[in-house]
Amino acid sequence: MLLIHQRNLHTFLLTLLPHEDDVDDLLQQVCLALWQKKDSYAPDRPFLPWAYAFARNQALKYLQQQSRDKQVAVFHGGLLERLAVAREAFDASAETRRQALATCLKQLRPAQRQLLEDRFAGTQTLKQLAAAAGVSAASLTMKLQRLRHALLKCVQHKLAQEEAT
Amino acid sequence: MSVPVPPLTAISLAEPDAELLTTICRVCDGEATRADMDRLEQLLADPAAVTLYLAVRELDATLIWKTRWRRPWQPPHLAAAAAGSQSNQPTLADRLESVFDLVATVVGTTLLSLGRWLGSRSAVALLLTLTVGLGLAAAWQAGLVAEPALRLIKTVFERQPPRLPGSVACVTALHDVTWAVTDVTAQPAEPPTRFASLFPGQWFDLEAGLIEINFDGGAVALVEGPARFSIAGAGACRLEQGRLTATLDKAAARAAGLQARFAVETPTATVTDLGTSFGVAVGAAGETDVSVFDGLVELLPRSEKDDAFKPAKRLRLLAGESAVVATDRQARRQAAQVDFIRTVPGRTAVDQQPPLPFSWKPGAAAIIVAESFAGSGPLHGSTPASRGGTGTEQWRAPRDGWQRDPAQDAVTVTQAGSAFLPFRPQRGFLYRLSITTTTPHNPPAAVGLGFTPAADPNQLDIDFAWSHDPSTSPSGASAVGAGGSVTRTVILDTSMAEWRLFSLANNRLVGQSVLPRQARQIRYLTIAVSANSPITFHSLSLALQKLDRPR
């Protein structure tokens, strides 16, 4: 069950903690903890809400630790709670959006796809990518922002089309 | 506590450089200052802004999941089982990462099938969402994606996972590989899969097939089974017995900052590659045959007395030349004696695909049911993992003798009968149903796997499938497991006018048939056990994919 829902948990945590590397660490921790607590899970209840509640607490703990340890930009606890609730509700329609996104990704030009791949592969920082491409980090961020905007527009359009039919 | 956020369709996306999106993107790209975070918190007071934020993060998460070779977390007992295969001391994270390739086979699915994390809600939803998540790949399979997109998908799915610290080589292809059962302790606990990291000192005993290894020194070696060999370093391997060919493009390797050296040690000699491609064959007594296809190779026999090299006896071989070092440790030129296999046949078919009339591409499959049999109590009435939480479909099984074992995430069956799960196939797909069974006792229980129109837990006849064991006749219902662990698979092909069914055991095709028209009435998938000797089921999965066969 845990193995199946890891992707949902990943999206959930990424919403609460903007830093991707934090999320990778925390996802491991959460999965391990959920596994250890598996006896307290009642199989007749939905798995995800249980897992999300747990992940939210872990994220809160992580944040407290982080903000103590170093000066990192993180959301404060109240917002985090609110985002957690919103994300869980947003989850219900996630599959349709992912489906639309898959179609939209196909419409990108190869260079745009390459940029997304480079950005999200996690092997280079944004600064390294920008340096490699000979542009400033700010202009790369702007490029990514436009791409995200275009993709979201496209997803929105596809969803509206689907609703219409 | 909070205002519900509107759906994505209800918000205005405005301009691409609006402040809200800029701030969100700066935060998401790790470029945010404290001031940006504060500003975002203010902006997120608006529910529509929250929707945009959620949508951006979901987009990012999807891309991260697609792009990175994501290692799913694995339960500790599975992780620990494979962690022993690493000879150095990687960190916990490294360990977790390293074992997933190995564990993937245990779980019975493949790393490539990101689809299993889709957590899709029902078979119907899945049919509608062929292109979700894994969608690009599925669409590729369906021939819906144009060539440039195809390249991207290939890069994404063919991407090598990160190499582990301390490793010196990496498996790049496997072809029809069978590993010998040996007592060699330096052999990894699990056989290496494609892209597995290899470490100095690891031994491999290849019974049959081909394995291609990329060494960090720049050489590519292709070992042909039967062979016993070990990894000696980034530029060296030891071949105890068997055949290998190696290719080293010295200029390219140097340009890439690699060592550009490769040596093969055998019991009687050392063959050093000086920028070339060559073949080495080691016979049962250790005699070493060397053939040079291209470039230059140095052959250095060892002394029989003290195993030291004998530089005076060295031979340099040019392209087209061949030599042998026999058991007397003398190097002699000879006419080429050995036919080497120099390429992996059909490089794409490396994942030990069964010889089916179509190719099942794990990366393009969407998972319908992924049942880990977690939890305890009777199987009857439990909900499969992938449908858990949202589905209402439950296992129907005998009330006694079909118990879930929480210690090993499995179902132990001690009483004959059948278990059923609702499933209704649609036209135009391949459905692949797979389960791993273990029969610890002799005589082993007979196990069947397949599809049926009616669910009767006491009924043992499966109408439309049997998974046969290769050790028995492929016809009839004598699908008796031979003991040990067997992965049984049936593939239902509904893409043609006549539906077909293929049975596989451990990925080998053992039977196929054309189904009668009544097969359209299939409403359940089923597992049947016809003997009372205990049998254990692990990790059942049912996946579908669109077939790229021209109609």
Q: Which structure tokens are listed for B282? A: 């080691």
CB pair distance less than 8 Å for A95 and B388: no
Whether residues A66 and A84 fall in one domain = yes
Q: Say yes or no: A35 and A68 in one domain.
A: yes
Residue B74 has pLDDT above 60, yes or no: no
Given a contact cutoff of 8 angstroms between Cβ atoms, the answer to whether B44 and A79 are in contact is yes
Quick check: A163 and B74 CB within 8 A? Answer: no
Chain B nearest C-alpha distance from A144 (Å): 8
What's the pLDDT at B328?
84
Higher-confidence residue: B305 or B263?
A: B263
Q: Which of the four pLDDT bands, split at 50, 70 and 90, describes residue B73?
A: low
Q: According to the model, what pLDDT value does residue B59 have? A: 92
Final residue of a structural domain among A91, A120, A139:
A91
For residue B55, the chain A residue with the least C-alpha distance is A152
Rounded to the nearest 10°, the torsion over CA B141, B144, B148, B150 is -10
- Rounded to the nearest angstrom, the minimum Cα separation between B106 and chain A is 13
Q: Which of A8, A35, A39 sits opposite B119 (nearest CB)?
A: A8
Q: Give yes or no for B141 touching A (CB within 8 A).
A: no
CA distances from A14 to A25, A129, B53, B140 (A): 11, 22, 11, 28
- How many CB atoms lie under 10 A from the CB of residue B367? 24
Q: Do A28 and B96 touch (CB under 8 A)?
A: yes
Tell me what pLDDT residue B506 has: 67
d(CA A26, nearest CA chain B) in Å? 11
CATH assignment of the domain containing A56 = 1.10.1740.10
State the complex-level ipTM: 0.93
Residue B386 is predicted with a pLDDT of 63
Same domain (yes/no): A125, A65: no
Question: pTM above 0.90?
Answer: no
Number of domains in chain A: 2
Mutate to test the interface with A, among B12, B17, B73 (most CBs of A within 10 A): B73
CA–CA min distance A133, chain B (Å): 17
State the pLDDT at residue B186. 54
What is the pLDDT, as a whole number, of residue B57?
Answer: 92
With a cut of 90, say whether residue B334 has pLDDT above it. no
Is there a contact between B67 and A7 if contact means CB atoms under 8 Å apart? no
Q: Rounded distance, CA B403 to CA B30, Å?
A: 49
CA pair distance B325, B513, nearest whole angstrom: 53
Same structural domain, A6 and A62: yes
| Least reliable range by pLDDT among A41-50, B138-147, B291-300 | B138-147
Nearest residue, CB atoms, A76 vs list B2, B36, B41: B41
pLDDT given at position A68: 65
Domains of chain B, by residue range, sit at 8-67, 76-158, 169-334, 362-546
Of B65, B73, B370, the CB nearest to A31: B73
Among the CATH numbers 3.40.1410.10, 3.30.420.40, 3.40.50.2300, 2.60.120.1440, which is that of B169-334? Answer: 2.60.120.1440
SS3 B536: strand
Which range has the top average pLDDT, A43-57, A149-163, B95-109, B117-131? A149-163
Q: What's the CA gap between B38 and B32, in Å, rounded?
A: 10
pLDDT at residue B151, as a whole number: 34
B160: distance to nearest CA of chain A, Å? 12
Give yes or no on whether B169-334 and B362-546 have one common fold.
Answer: yes
**Both A71 and A26 in a single domain?**
yes
Pick from A91, A119, A148: which residue ends a domain? A91
Record: contact A148-B156, CB cut-off 8 A? no
pLDDT bin (cut points 50, 70, 90) of residue B127 is very low
Q: Do B44 and A106 touch (CB under 8 A)?
A: no
- B362-546: in CATH 3.80.30.20: no
A86 with A104, same domain: the answer is no
Contacts of B155 in chain A (CB under 8 A): 117
User: Has residue A154 got a pLDDT over 80?
Assistant: yes
* End-to-end Cα separation, chain B, in angstroms: 56
Full residue range of the structural domain in which residue A150 is found: 94-164
Angstrom distance (rounded) from CA A135 to CA A4: 40
* Strands of B440-523, DSSP E: 447-452, 484-493, 500-505, 508-514
Contact B227, B210 (CB under 8 A): no
CB B324 within 8 A of CB B290: yes
Residue A165 to chain B, least CA–CA distance (Å): 14
Closest chain B residue to the Cα of A137, Cα to Cα: B31
Predicted confidence band at B435 (pLDDT cuts at 50, 70, 90)? confident
Which of the two residues, A72 and B291, has the higher pLDDT score? B291
CATH of the domain at A134: 1.10.10.10
B508 is written with which tokens? 């080998």
Residues A34 and A111 in one domain: no
Residue B124 at interface with chain A, using a CB cutoff of 8 Å: no
Two tokens, residue B390? 């949202």
Dump pLDDT digits (tens) for B474-497. 332 233 334 456 777 888 888 777
Q: Are residues A46 and A18 in the same domain?
A: yes
Residues near B51 by beta carbon (within 8 Å), at least 6 away in sequence? A86, A90, B5, B6, B7, B8, B10, B11
Q: Would the CB atoms of B5 and A148 count as touching at under 8 Å?
A: no
The predicted model gives B25-33 an average pLDDT of: 85
The C-alpha atoms of residue B483 and residue B474 are separated, in whole angstroms, by 17
Is B168 exposed, middle or buried, given 0-12, 13-18 or 19+ CB atoms closer than 10 A? buried
Using CA atoms, how far apart are residues A55 and A29, in angstroms rounded to an integer?
Answer: 9
Q: How far off is chain B from A110, nearest CA to CA, in Å?
A: 6
Are residues A78 and A130 part of one domain? Answer: no
The pLDDT value recorded for residue A73 is: 58
Final residue before a domain boundary, out of A91, A121, A138 = A91
Same domain, A101 and A68: no
Residues B162-175: tens digit of each pLDDT: 567 667 888 888 88
B13, HSE (Cβ side, Cα atoms, 13 Å) = 19
Are A98 and B132 within 8 A, CB to CB? yes
Same domain, A148 and A100: yes
Report percent pLDDT > 70 for chain B: 62
Which chain B residue's Cα is nearest to A49? B389
Predicted pLDDT of residue B124: 33
> Quick check: helix, strand or coil at residue A117?
helix
Q: Do B374 and A1 make contact, defined as CB atoms within 8 angstroms? A: yes
In terms of DSSP bridges, do strands B535-546 and B429-439 run parallel, antiparallel, or are they unpaired?
antiparallel
pLDDT tens-place string over residues A92-135: 888 889 888 988 988 888 888 888 888 887 777 888 888 888 88
Residues of B in contact with A18 (CB under 8 A): 27-28, 30, 32, 57
Residues A158 and A144 occupy one common structural domain: yes
Average confidence (pLDDT) over B377-384 = 86
Query: What percent of chain A lies above the pLDDT cut of 90?
Result: 10
